[in-house]
């Protein structure tokens, strides 16, 4: 699945207020290196994907959910094992 399809899926999940699943999808996308620098640390890859989502979330009037997504992503990234 390309980055645009991933973005649409995340937006759909955000629209349904399923922030946890949206965060999981973004992390999965970053882990596979879709739409980001595969050599960068995972947190940087996720950050790059989220930065690209923010304008779409604002346009969809989901700024409050974007803030919640940031919080959920931070918690999920902290829970992941350190990269080797």
Task: Give CA–CA dist 30/23, Å, rounded.
Answer: 11
Mean pLDDT of 19-48: 90
> What is the residue extent of each domain of the chain?
3-79
Longest dimension (CA), the chain: 38
pLDDT digits (tens, 9 = 90+) for 34-76: 888 889 999 899 988 888 787 788 888 888 888 899 899 999 9
DSSP codes of every residue in 10-60: HHHHHHTT-HHHHHHHHHHHHHHTTTS-TTS-HHHHHHHHHHHHHHHHHHT
Q: Is the pTM of this model over 0.75?
A: yes
């Amino acid at each position: 699945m390309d980055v645009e399809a991933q973005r649409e899926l995340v937006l759909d999940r955000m629209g349904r207020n399923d922030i946890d699943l949206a965060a999981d999808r973004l992390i999965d996308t970053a882990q596979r290196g879709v739409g980001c620098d595969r050599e960068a640390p995972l947190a940087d890859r996720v950050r790059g994907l989220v930065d690209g989502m923010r304008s779409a979330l604002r346009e969809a009037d989901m700024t409050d959910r974007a803030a919640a997504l940031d919080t959920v992503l931070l918690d999920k990234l902290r829970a992941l094992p350190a990269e080797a």
